[in-house]
Structure 1
Amino acid sequence: MVCGKCEKKLSKVICPDPYKEGARNTTEGGGRKLNENKLLSKKNRWSPLAAKCTVCKSTLHQQGQFCQSCAYQKGVCAMCGKQILDTKNYKQSSR
């Protein structure tokens, strides 16, 4: 569960999709460069072992502060922590 502002920050796929116009993983419009070495070109690589959820301390599969289950239970964006849903009337387990 990610807010609209953080949806742009989600990771892009390495291989381009030439059949879809306006896809996020295309090379037009400032997208990825052709024939680039991903190991050399990316300075700030995301380390999946270093990222932990702030609530349950589990490892994260994408950049952010919360894992998907904790973000949904709290009703916040998983990346920035901004309130998205009002979960006051939801019946949720603490698991």
Structure 2
Amino acid sequence: MVCAKCEKKLAKLATPDVFRSTTGEAHKDRKDVGVNKLIKKHDKSTHVCKSCKNSVTNQNKYCNYCAYKKGKCARCGKKVVDTSSHNMSAV
């Protein structure tokens, strides 16, 4: 479950527009040019779910299971659905 605000953010592309920059300006701010990826330290800040401590993707606060169970946005944690009168079972 993702709220409308986070859904807009997910719709944006992570890659630069190829037609906008034809002079190669999009590649100037690359940080890892000429770096050996095997020797480089890995990202130590792995993202985990707040409630069950499982790993999550895309810097989410909750995993999809917990977000559905609690009725919250998986990305920002905002309440999306009122689950007080629902029988929320994720089978």
TM-score normalised according to structure 2 size: 0.61
Letter in 2 for 1:27: D
C-alpha displacement of 1:91: 1.3
Q: Residue in 2 aligned with 1:56?
A: 52
Do the aligned partners of residues 27 and 83 (structure 1) sit closer, same or farther apart at CA in structure 2, a change above 3 Å counting? same
Q: Residue in 2 aligned with 1:65?
A: 61
Aligned with residue 30 of structure 2, among 40, 51, 56: 40
Please, which runs of 5 or more residues in structure 2 have no aligned partner?
A: 33-42
Whether the 8 Å contact between 2:65 and 2:90 is mirrored in structure 1 is: no
The answer to whether the aligner puts 1:27 opposite 2:28 as a matched pair is no
C-alpha displacement of 1:41: 6.0
How far apart in 2 are the matches of 1:3 and 1:61? Answer: 16
Letter in 1 for 2:46: A
Q: Which has the higher contact order (CA 8 A, sep 6+)?
A: 2
TM-score normalised according to structure 1 size: 0.59
How far apart in 2 are the matches of 1:81 and 1:13? Answer: 22
The answer to whether the aligner puts 1:84 opposite 2:80 as a matched pair is yes
- Which digits, 9 at most, give the CA deviation of each residue in 1:60-93, with x for residues without a partner? 0222210111011110111111111011122134
Q: Over the residues paired in the alignment, what is the CA RMSD in angstroms?
A: 3.5
Q: State the identity as a percent.
A: 37
Please, which runs of 5 or more residues in structure 1 have no aligned partner?
A: 15-25
Please give the secondary structure, in 1, of the residue aligned with 2:51. Answer: coil
Please give the secondary structure, in 2, of the residue aligned with 1:82. Answer: coil
Larger Rg: 2
